[in-house]
């Protein structure tokens, strides 16, 4: 029963090891709800907070954050019934992709190769290999920050587009989602999973080399990776960060990088493409936390336009 357990709260907590970049300073308060009821009660109580999942699309400030962060990593329940899947927002994408495959269900094969949670994947409308998380959604259960009520939205009400959903507008938090996948042949689902994993071995750095996936979004009808490559950024190698040699849209933390190091390299990459092609790339990774003066300056250049969703 809710109320019998204590909500996990950490004060002055270093967040770095929760992020795939392995970057991030001290956060004033971090909450780890374990059930949907605990999560929604917390959302009702707090005035100001940021909800994060696996922190695999985040550049967290090395100077930390003077506020509340809710990490959904303990919200792990899911259920598969026939072709229907129910998942709390903290469920890990790769694990759910494998469980769906074990049940001969097709539609989640793309999620096998990157570490997003269901909440983060829906917020970002994550996708790969021609599939995306929005393809098979039937219903999203959301907390509405304005009314403090729990509401439901159908797929069409979630305003999905390339790397965008209604969750990015700030009014809603995803509590859980429901999907309807396609019944398929177990071997063919497993084969697609293996193919996706093989493909990724070559085009994406493993998490042994801390990174947060694609740094910039693809501009319309083009590929950020292609433009960055042609602009020569694969040679960009700084003291603590570098562009990955096999794909120009990934930044690797060489070990001791700060958020400022990453932003500096992002600016160099952005300028290289802008100077060569007069195209201004827009970041896919999201910056969170307190900014230094230099970070504020770079942030104002990189994130200044909201026209590219």
The residues that touch ligand FAD, with contacts defined as CB under 6 A, are: 20, 50-58, 72, 89, 114-117, 119-121, 123-124, 126-128, 167, 173-174, 204, 211-213, 286
| DSSP assignments along the chain, one per residue | -TTSSPPEEEEEEE-GGGSTT----EEEEEEE--SHHHHHHHHHH-SS-EEESS-SSEEE-TT-EEEEEEE-TT---EEEETTEEEEETT-BHHHHHHHHHHTTEES-GGGGGS--BHHHHHHHT-EETTEEGGGGEEEEEEEETTTTEEEEEEGGGG--BTTB-GGGGSSEEEEEEEEE-EE--HHHHHHHHHHHHHHHHHHS--TTS---S-SBPPPTTS-HHHHHHHTTGGG-B-SSEEE-TT-TT-EEE-SS--HHHHHHHHHHHHHHHHHHH-----BSSEEES---HHHHHHHHHHT---S--
Tell me which of 163, 165, 184, 264 is the catalytic residue. 163
Min separation Cβ 186 and ligand FAD, Å: 24
Min separation Cβ 281 and ligand FAD, Å: 16
Tell me which of 214, 260, 264, 295 is the catalytic residue. 214
Closer by beta carbon to ligand FAD, 119 or else 225: 119
User: By Cβ distance, which residue is nearest to ligand FAD?
Assistant: 120
Closer by beta carbon to ligand FAD, 23 or else 286: 286
Min separation Cβ 173 and ligand FAD, Å: 4
Q: Of 161, 242, 157, which is closest to residue 205 (Cα–Cα)? A: 242
How far does Cα 173 stand from its chain's mean position?
14
Tell me which of 74, 178, 280, 284 is the catalytic residue. 284
Closer by beta carbon to ligand FAD, 37 or else 294: 37
Min separation Cβ 154 and ligand FAD, Å: 17
Burial of 6 (0-12, 13-18, 19+ CB in 10 A): exposed
Min separation Cβ 267 and ligand FAD, Å: 20
Q: Active-site residue 245, yes or no?
A: no
Closer by beta carbon to ligand FAD, 149 or else 187: 149
Closer by beta carbon to ligand FAD, 206 or else 275: 206
Q: Active-site residue 260, yes or no?
A: no
Min separation Cβ 188 and ligand FAD, Å: 21
Closer by beta carbon to ligand FAD, 57 or else 258: 57
Q: Active-site residue 214, yes or no?
A: yes
Provide the annotated active-site residues: 163, 214, 284
């Amino acid at each position: 029963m809710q109320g019998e357990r204590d909500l996990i709260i950490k004060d002055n907590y270093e967040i770095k090891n929760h992020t795939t970049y392995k970057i991030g300073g001290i956060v004033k308060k971090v909450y780890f709800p374990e059930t949907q009821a605990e999560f929604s009660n917390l959302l009702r109580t707090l005035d100001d907070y940021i909800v994060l999942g696996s922190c695999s699309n985040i550049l967290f400030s090395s100077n930390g954050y003077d506020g509340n962060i809710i990490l959904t990593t303990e919200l792990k329940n899911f259920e598969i019934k026939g072709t229907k899947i129910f998942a709390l927002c903290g469920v890990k994408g790769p694990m759910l992709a494998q469980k769906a495959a074990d049940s001969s269900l097709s539609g989640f094969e793309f999620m096998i190769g990157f570490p997003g949670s269901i909440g983060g994947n829906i917020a970002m409308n994550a996708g790969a290999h021609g599939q995306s998380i929005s393809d098979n959604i039937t219903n999203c259960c959301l907390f509405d920050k304005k009314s403090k009520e729990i509401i439901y939205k159908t797929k069409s009400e979630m305003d999905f587009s390339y790397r965008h959903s209604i969750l990015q507008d700030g009014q809603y938090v995803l509590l859980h989602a429901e999907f309807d996948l396609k019944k398929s042949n177990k071997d063919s689902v497993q084969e697609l999973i293996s193919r996706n994993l093989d493909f990724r071995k070559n085009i994406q750095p493993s998490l042994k080399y801390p990174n947060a996936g694609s740094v910039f979004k693809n501009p319309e009808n083009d590929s950020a990776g292609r433009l960055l490559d042609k602009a020569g950024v694969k040679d960009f190698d700084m003291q603590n960060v570098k562009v990955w040699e096999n794909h120009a849209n990934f930044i690797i933390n060489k070990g001791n990088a700060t958020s400022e190091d990453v932003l500096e390299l992002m600016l160099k990459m952005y300028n290289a493409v802008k100077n060569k092609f007069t195209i201004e790339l827009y970041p896919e990774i999201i910056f969170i936390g307190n900014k230094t003066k230099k970070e504020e300056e770079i942030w104002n250049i990189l994130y200044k336009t909201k026209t590219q969703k």
